[in-house]
Amino acid sequence: MSKVGKGVRVKRRKTFVAALAAPLVVSLAWIAVPSATAAQELSGKTVEFNVLAADGASAEAVEAAVRSAGGTVVSTNKAVGLVTATAPENGFTARLSGNAAVDGAAKVKSIGKSPDAKATKAKVKDVEKENKSGSNGTGKHGNAVAGMDPLDSQLWGLTAVRSHMARTTQAGDKRVKVGVLDTGVDGSHPDIAPNFDHALSRNFTHDIVNDDLGQEVDGPCEYAGCVDPADVDNGGHGTHVAGTIAAAADGFGISGVAPNVSIVNIRGGQDSGYFFLQPVVDAMTYSGDAGLDVVNMSFYVDPWLYNCKSNPADSPEQQAEQKVIIKAITRAMNYAYRKGVTQIVSLGNQHQDLGKPLPDATSPDFPAGTEHTRTIDNADCLSMPIEGPHALGVSALGPSLGKADYSNYGFERISVSAPGGYFRDGLGTPTYRTNGNLILSSYPKNVALTEGAIDEEGNVTPDGAALGVQKACKADGTCGYYQFLQGTSMASPHATGVAALIVSQYGKYSHGQVSLHPDKVERVLEGTAFDKSCPSPRTVDYTLVGRPAEFNATCEGDAAFNNFYGHGVVDAYAAVTNGKKFLK
């Protein structure tokens, strides 16, 4: 099947994109290498290409092939065999043809997305934006326990997964490193800063200012060299995700599911909300090399929602591009797994059974205007990374713990379910279509200002207040901002936080690091999730909340495992107190 969802935010604000949104500003046009002689003329302006090694070929062999064909090697991911090179735009791929070391080549194109477009673009569409002080003591394994923070009373997801109870036993350990592969993380946010690992954080993207037509993509560069620092998030999605995972429990603002673990920014998404192949692959392999324990991924790799190897609606060049994406992401995920990384992935916001995909009319989503309707063959098409190896897929729930209308589902890819927000939950009650049904988490000040949620003086505007944007300040004047979002992008970080607690509780501590095999994390995560039966009747009619009939979904299976909730709803308390038996 093929479906992936990007994080989602509840989109009632004009210029805000929610999340698992797949951000990316540059497009890869994978080019099938045609048969031609090595004497093919090179012409045209110099552009970037991505060149993928054939199975069994070394990265060095690909680099040699690039140079022989007249290109210049810019960077190489040896773990995956993905080389970025520059060369004249015409003739380079023909010169590579027939080289046994090369699997495929792709020209990198900038695309026409404006800053306003990024506010409305979301890989996962239809997201509607619509206590006590924390104290630290010593718990088992030398890990700290924690209390609750002032805004936690609004975090129904935190209590739904019983993080408030788990933290009295296990609140996480700083030596456990959680990677956020997203649009970036605001390391200066007062709820993120205490747990942010500056030394390990990386940004694998560069801002794309304009496309070839002069249209803005990411917009003007904020920093010299057009590379944002590794503690900056100009999209907002990654910071929201990070707050749900591990906002510090320190008597201020909010706290995360695992409030004492470390957050590592491994940025692979653009400001504009797209996720490019090369940065994503680099971030995935880095997670293994850096010794990260868990990585959260709330996106799909652009430009294809489904990567199909032989869809008749696609050109040979487009088919070649999709094959390379599948192969490169598969290699990267296998590499991270072998290095001990547990990979948590949002299931997607296309409101469909992933084993019975609906037609895709959104791909390719760049360059603009190239999308076309395709019938999706479940046997031929994959959405990445949710359909990649070792992905633990998470569906989204509302406050009633029913499946959110937008959430994907299905036996093929689901592992567990978790709170993701559901604006339309509570039909017939005062909570219906209210912000409280969404997920509240950290919001970068720079993004809040750009989106008009706050003014130049830092005060919440009327538009921001209507969206539930909140401001909290410390005695020293330091302030943090918070916003409500919904989506499977908000569900996966709840599961990621629980996975981090599992590593903290049961991992092997040695030389300042912690390790627990991903298979063991999976067994505990799924084994301690609490059973959730199918609703009665089993078919949920979402037209009652104003959705088209295609949103209607039928639950299959039993309480132990079904296509709506997988093995159940993640349970932090059960995981840290009763998970040991699943390690045997």
pLDDT (tens digit per residue) in 503-560: 999 999 998 899 999 999 999 999 999 999 999 999 999 999 999 999 999 999 999 9
pLDDT, position 386: 97
26-31 and 479-485 beta bridge pairing:
unpaired
DSSP string, 521-536: HHHHHHHSSBP-PPPS
For the cut 50, the answer to whether the pLDDT of residue 32 exceeds it is no
For the cut 60, the answer to whether the pLDDT of residue 4 exceeds it is no
Q: Once rounded to an integer, what is the mean pLDDT over residues 88-112?
A: 81
Amino acid, res. 548:
P
pLDDT (tens digit per residue) in 161-215: 999 999 999 999 999 999 999 999 999 999 999 999 999 999 999 998 876 656 6
Which H helix or E strand runs over 363? none
Cα gap 107→105, rounded to integer Å: 7
Whether residue 501 contacts residue 578, with contact meaning beta carbons closer than 8 Å, is answered with no
pLDDT (tens digit per residue) in 233-244: 999 999 999 999
For residue 543, the number of C-alpha atoms closer than 13 Å in the C-beta half-sphere is 6
Q: Once rounded to an integer, what is the mean pLDDT over residues 444-465?
A: 98
Residue 209: how many other CB atoms lie within 10 Å? 15
Chain mean pLDDT for the chain: 88
Closest alpha carbon to 470 in 486, 456, 455, 459: 459
pLDDT (tens digit per residue) in 256-291: 999 999 999 999 999 988 898 999 999 999 999 999
Amino acid, res. 552:
N
Residue 310: how many other CB atoms lie within 10 Å? 12
pLDDT, position 300: 95
DSSP 579: -
Kindly report the backbone phi and psi dihedral angles of residue 24, in degrees, each rounded to the nearest multiple of 5, phi listed first: -175, 135
pLDDT, position 11: 33
Residue 447: how many other CB atoms lie within 10 Å? 25
Cα gap 333→342, rounded to integer Å: 10
pLDDT, position 213: 55
Cα gap 159→340, rounded to integer Å: 29
Kindly report the backbone phi and psi dihedral angles of residue 194, in degrees, each rounded to the nearest multiple of 5, phi listed first: -60, -25
Whether residue 483 contacts residue 441, with contact meaning beta carbons closer than 8 Å, is answered with yes
pLDDT, position 327: 96
For the cut 80, the answer to whether the pLDDT of residue 481 exceeds it is yes
pLDDT, position 214: 66
DSSP 324: H
512: left (phi over 0), alpha (psi -120 to 50) or beta: left
